[in-house]
Amino acid sequence: MRRGEVGDAIPIWSEHFVPVFPAENQRRILLEHGLYDSFMAQWVSIENVHEVARRLQVAMETTIACDLQAAMRSYGTRSRKPWRAWIARLAPGWSLVVYLDGWMSDSDPLSLGGQRVFDVSCISGIEEIEELFYTHDGVCTGTIYDEEEYRIHWSDLKYDLTSVEGQLEEYLCILGRVAGRFLDHDLFSSQGLLIELSANRQPV
């Protein structure tokens, strides 16, 4: 993970920014909803879940309105493609896409038109976590830590970055600050959209 090194310039804090932290441990919420062993998701700056599905080239007649647990039960009955994901409205201006089988779609189409996408990919069973990549308007410029505008969201955090658990907790805290909502039980109990990803669209 890339983080600010000792000697970096001190960030300029907005007078309107008040550091906030999740009320509940984010990794524990993932675990309680059966997501922790393999968690792959995208934070997308589009509130309309149907628009997110359209950008993923989903056949809308195949979508199902349901909560996450129903989506996971549905996925558990299938042993073959197509790949599936669950999309939920996260906060004003934001959706969350949770991939159910370990494959994550390309961020580029989701970010076109000036939208933003953040990728989180973590497989705890093998202690593997990817960088927190950021894509804007079809271009991945690196990680969120490379973008000065987001420095305010992570520069005060003190998670243990030597562990996968600490890195994931920091990622989820940062994205909760960016989107204006942390992961919670109400989110995963809400009515989202279960989608089938096109067989001719290769996940990354």
Tally of CB atoms within 10 A around 124: 17
| pLDDT at 92 (0 to 100) | 98
Which contiguous run of DSSP H or E holds residue 181?
Answer: none
| pLDDT at 126 (0 to 100) | 76
State how beta strands 133-136 and 116-123 pair.
antiparallel
This prediction's pTM? 0.87
| pLDDT at 78 (0 to 100) | 52
| pLDDT at 101 (0 to 100) | 85
- The closest alpha carbon to 171, from 49, 43, 46, belongs to 43
Q: Can you tell me which residue has the tokens 């942390």?
A: 182
Q: What is the DSSP letter of 164?
A: H
Q: What is the largest CA-CA distance in the chain?
A: 54
* Spatial contact of 151 and 9, defined as CB atoms under 8 Å apart: no
> Interior CA angle at 156 toward 152 and 158, to 5°?
140
Q: Where are the domains of the chain?
A: 26-194
- The closest alpha carbon to 56, from 86, 24, 79, belongs to 86
How confident is the model over 99-145, as pLDDT tens digits? 998 789 999 999 999 999 999 999 876 789 999 999 999 999 899 99
Residues in the chain with pLDDT < 70? Answer: 1-18, 75-81, 125, 199-204
